[in-house]
Amino acid sequence: MVCEKMNFPENSLFLVTGGAGFIGSNLCEAILDMGYRVRCLDDFSTGKKENIELCMNNSNFELINGDIKDFETCLNACDGADYVLHQAAWGSVPRSIEMPIFYCENNIMGTLNMLESARQNNVKKFVYASSSSVYGDEVNLPKSEGREGNLLSPYAVSKRTNEEWAKQYSMHYGLDTYGLRYFNVFGRRQDPNGAYAAVIPKFIKQLLRGETPTINGDGKQSRDFTYIENVVEANLKACLAGHNAAGEVYNIAYGGREYLIDIYYVLVDALGIKDNDEKRLEPNFAPDRVGDIKHSNADISKAAKMLNYNPKWDFKRGIKEAIAWYKEDLQIRK
């Protein structure tokens, strides 16, 4: 695992917000495996205690049950922290359209609370999760930092606003901030449940349960699916980046392009799913989701140059691992 090759000062403390979530729990686990201390801040509104079960028995792990909308909670969580990996946020483009005020309060004000708390506690590095959604209706591929379009959802607005706030904290307050624009992250512990579940775990779960998945749109939309190991690497590489790389945003992806209908068939074939006539099961189709971007593919050259980001997990390797994990997880939960 690439994380094992990274060295931080002895006894370093990493604060992971949203640490009981999909990405956050993988970060917690990786950092603990490296022998460093982890403090997890989560209010369990979307995170799950089962995601951090393996961490709870580690003497280097500390859990704070708290909300990033509360400034005092953020201030206390940052006390003594060397690095902040800020993952806490509410996702989902469609849900943000239904709940714009909540997304402002949680994603924007929550992030501002964390930035200010990190500043007051003299945190060394503040790494935060942004999103490919900030590219909006920009049609050129690959997506490149500095070439953004009109934002298409309140979720995208919240992520873009966070980038501007982080830049201000690097510019005026001396806090080294690094924004990571995630591109369709997938992998172990990603929640397959609910109306707003990410497409890969949702499809896997439905297929394993004998259900026919529904694709929104014609299936010809494309994504730069990014396996979780690459995202863990990016967060830790950002913590090691120099001051000259601070105040910037970086595409975090593999740099590939997969079409949704092809992803569906990859999963069907890998799982051996057939219909009643023993033919490959075809999906259902539904209208496009409002606010969705049609195509997404990342230029990762900036992250490679400034963060030494070198993703090892392509889609083929990642999806094989993800399928194996969900098979085992769903078997356990039967």
Query: Which residues partner with 223 through β-bridges?
Result: 258
Q: Which residues pair with 251 in a beta bridge?
A: 181
- DSSP string of 218-252? SS--EE--EEHHHHHHHHHHHHT--GGGTTEEEEE
How far is residue 263's CA from residue 316's CA, in Å, rounded to a whole number? 10
Between the alpha carbon of residue 37 and those of residues 3, 60, 245, the distances in Å are 14, 5, 25
If 0-12 CB within 10 Å is exposed, 13-18 middle and 19+ buried, where does residue 175 land? buried
57 token code pair: 């028995």
The residue count of the chain comes to 334
254 catalytic per annotation: no
**118-134 b/e (C-beta count within 10 Å ≥ 16 → b):** bbebebebbbbbbbbbb
Amino acid identity of residue 260, one-letter, is L
State the catalytic residue, choosing from 155, 169, 250, 326.
155
Q: Would you say 40 and 28 are in contact if contact means Cβ atoms under 8 Å apart?
A: yes
Rounded Cα distance, 114 and 102, in Å: 17
CA-CA-CA-CA torsion sign (23, 26, 28, 30): negative
Q: Could you give the residue numbers annotated as active site?
A: 155
